[in-house]
A and B are shown apart, each in its own frame.
Chain A
Amino acid sequence: MTTKSGSLLAVTSLVTILLAAVPAGAQEAGTGEALKGFWLTTSYPELAIKPGETHTLSLSLRNENLPPQRASIEVAGVPEGWEWALKGGGKEVSAAMVSPDSTERLSLELTPPQDAATSEAYNIEVKARTATDTVILPLTVRLSGSETASSGLSLDPELPGLRGTSRSTFSFKIKVKNEGAEDGLFNLAASVPAGFNTRFKKGYGSEEITGVPIAAGATETVTMEVIPARNAAAGRYDVGLEVSGNGIAESTQVSLEITGEPQLRLVGPQERLSGEAVAGKETSFAFTVVNAGTAPASGIEMAATPPTGWNVEFDPKELGQLAPNSTAEVNVKITPSEKAVAGDYMVSLRAENDTVSESVQFRTTVRTSTMWGAAGLGIIAAAALILGGAVTRYGRR
């Protein structure tokens, strides 16, 4: 960290020295720290424009620490046949008034004729004449002959191919560059297979968007999230992305590959997940294992987590291979503990292999054994027998 900041400091000082060494050039520079003066500037003093098209250059008049300055603007050196106009605030102007410490913007519109010679460089001078002196801004304009092939937009997917299961969300990061001359709002549209969902986000943001504003020459990163249909079969799917706006459009193609995965389901007897069992006695429940996924499941093992003292057995214990959309019957034999009191218990049953595991809670209602009922009846019967015996012995007196 210290070395980094040190080097940064070195760079800064170097820049300062360089700036000090640069001569003032055609325009007056203020002295020392308090910059003072009157300038006429433009961002790109040398540029290439196309013949037959109107090109706009923006000019700035800057007044720093001087009284209000009236500047008459003159444009000299525009070749024969070119059309030009100096505009300020939307009107053609020939002079501008600049208040202290402010900037006036003017634009110079240049339209070279269609048949202008392309190889030459033209020197145009813009002069701003104030009461005290004249500021000159030299411009060099070249004519570029060849039309650029760019449509004005470029799409660059970071990772054009992704892979995942039908439950994954596929995120494509796409860099969209506005190569046109104007800022614009660009609409985003995706074409996906039926049942797939898409949503767009800007960069790493969380808001879902339908369009993205991009400044001229700037690049934005758009995230396209594709959520495949749950039942999408394994395979490769193409997703098209179209960005359009400002009368230009560009599309690109990305692809996602869905790998199949097994998905197990345990279905209870008559699709119920409850049953009755008697304490200490084995009861058999017919379960069905369903592979509802898109790939075969192999080596499925059945397991259970019963309450203490309970015994749960499976027939068969292992299922081997189960193709997608096929079922297998499993007999679950539940033996509640001898000491289980009557009531509802949860028995957790699982079908699992190395990759998937499906568990269900089976609600088992334990009934008490009817043995005690019979014993109670026996006691009552014995008492009734005693009464009957007494009646036969002593009856009818």
Chain B
Amino acid sequence: MPREGSPFKGVGIVALKEAADHMSSARMHLVMLLVLLTAIAAAWGAIDRIRDTTAEDAYLFLKLFTVAREPLPSFAAFLGFLLPLVAISLGFDAVNGEFNRRTMSRLLAQPVYRDAILFGKFLGGLLVIAIALLTLWLLTVGLGILTLGLPPSGADIVRSVFWLIATLFYAGVWLALAISFSTVIRTPATSALAALSVWLILTFFWGMIAPLLASLQPVDPFDPVSIVNQYELQQSIARFSPQTLYSEITGLLLNPSARSVGPLFMHQLQGAVIGAPLPTMESVMIVWPQISCMVAAMLVLFTLAYVVFQRQEVRA
């Protein structure tokens, strides 16, 4: 029997309530404290490094995000590493937690559809991550302006905002993954472990698996084209990991002189003005496939969670 009205009625209320719950939860506080400390440490390291080499840098402001000082990784690398953790911690018990606390039926007793609950949970998580990201970004920019005493240019701001949006989508992929696991798996601990193991595989082991899979295609040492082919195969396998996509996006958006994510041949660089900055929109265009793949992956994972959730028995 079809029901009346929009399935999205009440999404806003659910999302805001969910966000408020996250904001006041001890889990979120701990995770954010960790992220905040590491991010500030990374930004501080970058500022220290930049101070040594101020005169040589053309894109000083963007270097805040990409320059690292040993042993700390850069700000962007930190986000690529820790954001999945934040997203997983926000989403691993989104659905099965409600069942376990026996609050699902109480929730559904409200005048909202099931659609609204899942959409609201996803958007609420995304909202929290967005707020956290914006805070971190402002904090880093503020630190940079305060300590380096130099205002960012308009192009720098546009580039870093685009990068921030891409970062949000990157976190969204992991949030959608965690919510999917929380819908499919009934125990929160199992779903958390499942999400974490996927994260571990894609973040740490994918870099080893990709060359292994690519080496299945034979290489003729006397044929340079086959070497290039194998490299390209390895690169496309590596791109199944959101981590790879995200680092490619970071590399291009935060480095205006980067021209390509793939291998470049000498004949493509003949006559090229090396080191000249690309127009901002060109940089975005180059990583546009990566960005759209991440957005699509987020949508598909969420759709999976949605379909499974809609078909579940909730009166248990």
List residues of chain A with CB under 8 Å of any chain B CB: 306-310, 337, 339-347, 363, 365, 367-368, 370, 372-373, 375-377, 379-380, 382-384, 386-387, 390-391, 394-397
Contact A341-B306, Cβ < 8 Å, known A307-B271, A365-B279, A383-B300: no
CA distance A363 to B295 in the complex (A): 35
Q: B286 near A368 (CB under 8 angstroms)?
A: yes
Contact A396-B3, Cβ < 8 Å, known A376-B289, A380-B296, A383-B296: yes
Q: B296 near A382 (CB under 8 angstroms)?
A: yes
Q: B114 near A343 (CB under 8 angstroms)?
A: no
- Say yes or no: is B307 at the interface (Cβ < 8 Å to chain A): yes
**How many whole Å from A275's CB to the nearest CB in chain B?**
13
Instruction: Give the chain B neighbours of A375 by CB distance below 8 A.
Output: 289, 292
Q: A345 near B271 (CB under 8 angstroms)?
A: yes
Q: B273 near A308 (CB under 8 angstroms)?
A: no
Q: A368-B286, A375-B292 are in contact. List 12 more A-B contacts (CB 8 A).
A: A308-B267, A308-B270, A339-B268, A340-B268, A341-B259, A346-B273, A367-B279, A377-B292, A379-B292, A386-B300, A387-B306, A397-B113
Instruction: Give the chain A neighbours of B278 by CB distance below 8 A.
Output: 342-343
**How many whole Å from B313's CB to the nearest CB in chain A?**
11
Instruction: Give the chain A neighbours of B272 by CB distance below 8 A.
Output: 307, 341, 343-346
List residues of chain B with CB under 8 Å of any chain A CB: 2-5, 7, 113-115, 259-260, 264-265, 267-268, 270-273, 276, 278-279, 282-283, 285-286, 288-289, 291-293, 295-297, 299-300, 302-303, 306-307, 310-311
- Interface-centre pick from B5, B282, B293 (highest chain A CB count, 10 A): B282
Q: B2 near A373 (CB under 8 angstroms)?
A: no
**How many whole Å from B5's CB to the nearest CB in chain A?**
7
Q: B299 near A367 (CB under 8 angstroms)?
A: no
CA distance A307 to B272 in the complex (A): 8
Closest to B307 in A: A390
CA distance A392 to B99 in the complex (A): 25
Contact A380-B299, Cβ < 8 Å, known A342-B286, A372-B285: yes
Closest to A343 in B: B259
**How many whole Å from B272's CB to the nearest CB in chain A?**
5
Instruction: Give the chain B neighbours of A337 by CB distance below 8 A.
Output: 268
Contact A306-B271, Cβ < 8 Å, known A372-B289, A384-B299: yes
A344: contacting residue among B115, B276, B303, B306, CB under 8 A: B276
Instruction: Give the chain A neighbours of B306 by CB distance below 8 A.
Output: 387, 390-391, 394
Q: A396 near B113 (CB under 8 angstroms)?
A: yes
CA distance A376 to B311 in the complex (A): 31
Q: A395 near B286 (CB under 8 angstroms)?
A: no
Instruction: Give the chain A neighbours of B264 by CB distance below 8 A.
Output: 341
Q: Top 7 nearest A-B pairs by Cβ distance?
A: A376-B292, A307-B271, A394-B310, A383-B299, A395-B7, A383-B296, A344-B273
B285: contacting residue among A306, A342, A379, A382, CB under 8 A: A342
**How many whole Å from A361's CB to the nearest CB in chain B?**
10
CA distance A257 to B276 in the complex (A): 48
Contact A376-B291, Cβ < 8 Å, known A394-B310, A394-B311: yes
Closest to B5 in A: A396
- Interface-centre pick from B260, B272, B289, B300 (highest chain A CB count, 10 A): B272
CA distance A394 to B7 in the complex (A): 10
Can you spell out 30 A-B residue pairs with CB atoms less than 8 angstroms apart? Answer: A306-B271, A307-B271, A308-B267, A310-B271, A339-B265, A339-B268, A342-B259, A346-B272, A347-B271, A367-B279, A370-B285, A372-B285, A372-B289, A373-B285, A376-B289, A376-B292, A380-B292, A383-B295, A383-B296, A383-B300, A384-B299, A386-B303, A387-B302, A390-B307, A390-B310, A394-B311, A395-B310, A396-B113, A396-B115, A397-B114
Q: A307 near B113 (CB under 8 angstroms)?
A: no
Instruction: Give the chain B neighbours of A340 by CB distance below 8 A.
Output: 268
Closest to B114 in A: A397
Q: B292 near A395 (CB under 8 angstroms)?
A: no
Closest to B113 in A: A396
Instruction: Give the chain B neighbours of A396 by CB distance below 8 A.
Output: 2-5, 7, 113, 115
CA distance A346 to B297 in the complex (A): 39
Instruction: Give the chain A neighbours of B297 by CB distance below 8 A.
Output: 383
CA distance A396 to B254 in the complex (A): 43
Instruction: Give the chain B neighbours of A346 by CB distance below 8 A.
Output: 271-273
**How many whole Å from A105's CB to the nearest CB in chain B?**
73
CA distance A332 to B230 in the complex (A): 40
**How many whole Å from B276's CB to the nearest CB in chain A?**
4
Instruction: Give the chain A neighbours of B270 by CB distance below 8 A.
Output: 307-308
**How many whole Å from A6's CB to the nearest CB in chain B?**
67
Instruction: Give the chain B neighbours of A363 by CB distance below 8 A.
Output: 273
Instruction: Give the chain B neighbours of A370 by CB distance below 8 A.
Output: 285
Instruction: Give the chain B neighbours of A367 by CB distance below 8 A.
Output: 279, 282, 285
Q: A343 near B300 (CB under 8 angstroms)?
A: no
CA distance A337 to B7 in the complex (A): 50
CA distance A175 to B264 in the complex (A): 68
